[in-house]
């Protein structure tokens, strides 16, 4: 295999809706990627019309869950893979239809829809176990010497520039003194307040003394100056940006993988998901949770990485990379 390949990935939030209401097939033909990976297809092959399964010039493959109308990933490809398989080899996860693996010889493509941990603590535990099993799985493939191209909805924003409101979604405490509020970060240090200077004994915002406190002050230092708060509100943070999830992303990268978009773009306000209920896309209050990763050895083959933020049809937008095969 030589030349170049353009690969796209998109959480379509229901492939049948994307087809009937959003013109997915027409968009795919017009956009003309060599490889198109889909997540959250929410359909079994027997529920798909022939027009979705037999798009001219593409072979199609689908990994589907036991439960209909849920999860699922799909692949449309102009380049015929040597082999296609499904799952991690762990029944607990494979029954949800989240993983499709296509071996293209020079590289192995892993199209994956990682679990969301927001619904309950049990699902968060499930997500973290899935992450760990996946890391073992992808490391085994990498050890075979083939390049790794991973794409999909990771359901985690790695760093603060990967979401519009990192502080609001991080674990933090609010201490109230009447109507005045002191905000503590995940490390239990002051990161701000609501500027009630007539109530709060604030310093010049950078340090604390025996009679004032400032940014970075500990809870003990604040209590010594300010006294006991009248009310304490603890927020656990939002799944998708929890310390445990971000720590796993650090671990994954430390195993020898690169975020292709951050290889070429370090700017904030580049997002791939927006909450539809709050019309967050209109204000670009989003998260970058849809990504392409490659292993370090394959990184030189990446000629470009991009986000197609103007493409509508889902609460996510497509992301892509250009692969150069010499």
DSSP codes joined into one string, 84-135: EEES-S-HHHHTT--EEEEE-SSEEEEEEEPPP--S-HHHHHHHHHHHHHHH
Strands 3-11 and 35-39: parallel
Instruction: Report how far residue 92's alpha carbon sits from residue 75's, in angstroms, rounded to the nearest whole number.
Output: 22
Burial of 147 (0-12, 13-18, 19+ CB in 10 A): buried
Helix, strand or coil for residue 250? helix
Tokens linked to 225:
């100056």
Tokens linked to 207:
């340090």
Instruction: Report how far residue 111's alpha carbon sits from residue 149's, in angstroms, rounded to the nearest whole number.
Output: 9
Spell out the domain ranges in the chain: 3-162+239-325, 172-235
Q: Is 153 a catalytic residue?
A: yes
The confidence score (pLDDT) of residue 2 equals 66
Is the separation of the CB atoms in 104 and 1 below 8 Å? yes
The stretches in the chain having pLDDT less than 70 are 1-2, 195, 204-207
The confidence score (pLDDT) of residue 15 equals 95
Q: Look at the block and give the residue holding tokens 């445990």.
A: 244
Global pTM? 0.86
Tokens linked to 248:
């796993």
Count Cα atoms within 13 angstroms, Cβ side, for 215. Answer: 7
Helix, strand or coil for residue 190? strand
Tokens linked to 80:
């015929």
pLDDT (tens digit per residue) in 144-157: 999 999 999 999 99
CATH superfamily, with its number, for domain 3-162+239-325: Endonuclease/exonuclease/phosphatase (3.60.10.10)
**Catalytic one among 34, 153, 259, 295?**
153
């Amino acid at each position: 295999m030589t030349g170049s390949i353009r690969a796209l990935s998109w959480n379509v939030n229901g492939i049948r809706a994307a087809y009937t209401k959003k013109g997915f097939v027409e968009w795919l033909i017009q956009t003309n990627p060599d490889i198109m990976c889909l997540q959250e297809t929410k359909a079994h092959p027997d529920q798909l019309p022939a027009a979705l399964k037999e798009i001219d010039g593409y072979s199609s493959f689908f990994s589907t869950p036991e439960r209909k109308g849920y999860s699922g990933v799909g692949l449309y490809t102009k380049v015929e893979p040597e082999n296609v398989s499904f799952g991690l080899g762990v029944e607990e996860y494979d029954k949800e239809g989240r993983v499709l693996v296509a071996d293209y010889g020079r590289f192995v493509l892993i199209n994956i829809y990682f679990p969301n941990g927001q619904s309950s603590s049990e699902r968060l535990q499930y997500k973290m176990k899935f992450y760990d099993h996946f890391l073992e799985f992808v490391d085994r493939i990498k050890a075979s010497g083939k390049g790794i191209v991973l794409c999909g909805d990771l359901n985690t924003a790695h760093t603060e520039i990967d979401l519009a409101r990192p502080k609001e979604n991080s674990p933090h405490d609010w201490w109230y003194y009447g109507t005045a509020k002191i905000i503590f970060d995940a490390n239990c240090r002051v990161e701000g307040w609501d500027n009630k200077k007539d109530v709060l004994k604030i310093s010049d915002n950078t340090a604390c003394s025996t009679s004032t406190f400032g940014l970075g002050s500990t809870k003990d230092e604040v209590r010594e100056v300010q006294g006991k708060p009248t009310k304490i509100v603890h927020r656990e943070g939002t799944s998708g940006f929890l310390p445990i999830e971000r720590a796993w992303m650090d671990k994954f990268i430390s195993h020898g993988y690169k975020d292709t978009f951050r290889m070429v773009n370090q700017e904030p306000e580049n997002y791939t998901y927006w909450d539809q209920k709050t019309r967050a896309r209109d204000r670009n209050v989003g998260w970058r949770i849809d990504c392409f990763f490659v292993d370090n050895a394959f990184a030189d083959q990446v000629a470009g990485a991009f986000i197609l933020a103007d493409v509508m049809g889902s609460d996510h937008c497509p992301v892509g990379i250009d692969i150069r095969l010499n």
